[in-house]
Structure 1
Amino acid sequence: MHEGRVLKSLALWIGRRRHQVGPDDRAFGYASPQTATVYGLAFVCVVETVGVSFMVRQWPVVHAVLLVLDVYTVLLVLGMQAAAVTRPHVLTARALRVRAGARVDLPIPLHHIAAVRRELKFQASGGEARDDVLELAVGAQTSLTLELAEPVTHVPLLGKPREVRTVRFHADESGELAKALRSLVA
Structure 2
Amino acid sequence: MTTAGLRAARAVAWSVLPAELVLVVCLVAGVRVPAPVLSGAEALVAAVLVLDASVLWRLYAARRRAGTGRRAALRWAVGALVPVALRRLVVHEFRALHSLGLWVLRRRHRVAEGALPVPYTAPQTGVMYTFAFVSVLETVVLALVIPWPLVHAILLVVGVYGVVVVLAIHAACVTRPHLVGADGSLRLRYGALFDLRVPASVIASARADRRFPGGGPVRVDEDGALDLVVGGWTTVTVELTEPVEFVRPLGRRGSARTLRFNADEPRAAVAALATPAPPLTSSPPPSPAPPLTPERTAPSSTPDPPA
- State the TM bucket, normalised to the shorter chain: over 0.9
Q: Gaps spanning 5+ residues in structure 2: where?
A: 1-90, 278-307
Q: Gaps spanning 5+ residues in structure 1: where?
A: none
Q: Determine the structure 1 residue equivalent to 2:200.
A: 110
Shift of 1:5: 1.3
Greater mean alpha carbon deviation, residues 19-28 or residues 43-52: 19-28
1:42-62 CA-to-partner distances (Å, cap 9, x unmatched) read 111111000111122x32232
2:177 to 88, 91, 101: 88
Moved over 6 A (4+): 125-128
Aligned equivalents of 2:214 and 2:175: distance in 1?
28
Shift of 1:102: 1.5
Shift of 1:67: 1.0
Q: How does 1:10-49 map to 2 (within 5 A)?
A: 10-49=100-139
Q: Are the structure 2 counterparts of residues 139 and 180 from structure 1 closer, same or farther at C-alpha, using a change threshold of 3 Å?
A: same
Secondary structure of 1:184 counterpart: coil
Which has more radius of gyration? 2
Secondary structure of 1:65 counterpart: helix
Shift of 1:150: 1.5
Shift of 1:23: 2.9
Secondary structure of 2:276 counterpart: helix
Q: Which has the higher helix share?
A: 2
The answer on whether the counterparts of 1:148 and 1:165 sit within 8 Å (CA) in structure 2 is yes
Greater mean alpha carbon deviation, residues 144-153 or residues 131-140: 131-140
TM-score by length of 1: 0.92
State the aligned residue count: 185
The answer on whether the counterparts of 1:131 and 1:164 sit within 8 Å (CA) in structure 2 is no
TM-score by length of 2: 0.57
Q: Determine the structure 2 residue equivalent to 1:66.
A: 155
Q: Determine the structure 2 residue equivalent to 1:78.
A: 167
Aligned equivalents of 2:271 and 2:121: distance in 1?
20
Aligned equivalents of 1:13 and 1:128: distance in 2?
30
Higher relative contact order (CA closer than 8 Å, sequence separation 6+): 1
What CA RMSD, in Å, does the superposition of the two structures yield over aligned residues? 2.1
Aligned equivalents of 2:167 and 2:215: distance in 1?
26
